């Protein structure tokens, strides 16, 4: 889950939907053997920080998140897969629409 939220290997709907206001980063790994019972995968430390300067105003949140949902449903954003865009590209695509 931490890798998905931090957009390691591509972004998800949830991450893209909150990127203009928050930064997500993977801060470390916890080996599976550190847990009991031992899970099948390692754990990850996810850091979520509110952006000091949001990429979009809060008033645009609902419209932006609606557009992100629509893009994931269509499977394309200007000819690209939604999972391949970063935060800046999502905001730029939203502003163009």
Domain spans of the chain, in order of start:
2-96
Do 34 and 40 contact (CB within 8 A), yes or no?
A: no
9 pLDDT more than 90? no
Residue range 15-21: mean pLDDT, rounded? 97
78 pLDDT more than 90? no
Q: Is 28 helix (H, G, I), strand (E, B) or coil?
A: strand
Q: For residue 39, give the DSSP letter.
A: P
pTM exceeds 0.85: yes
Kindly report, residue by residue over 21-60, the tens digit of the pLDDT: 999 999 999 999 999 999 999 999 999 999 999 999 999 9
Do 86 and 15 contact (CB within 8 A), yes or no?
A: no
Burial, 94: exposed, middle or buried (Cβ in 10 Å; 0-12, 13-18, 19+)? buried
Identify the pLDDT of residue 58.
97
């Amino acid at each position: 889950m931490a890798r998905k939220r931090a957009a390691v290997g591509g972004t998800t709907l949830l991450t893209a939907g909150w990127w203009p206001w928050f930064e997500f980063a993977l801060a470390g790994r916890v080996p599976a053997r550190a847990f009991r019972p031992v899970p099948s995968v390692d754990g990850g430390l996810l850091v979520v920080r509110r952006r000091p300067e949001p990429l979009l105003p809060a008033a645009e949140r609902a419209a932006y998140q609606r557009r992100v949902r629509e893009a994931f449903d269509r499977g394309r954003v200007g000819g690209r897969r939604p999972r391949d865009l970063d935060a800046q590209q999502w905001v730029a695509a939203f502003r163009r629409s």
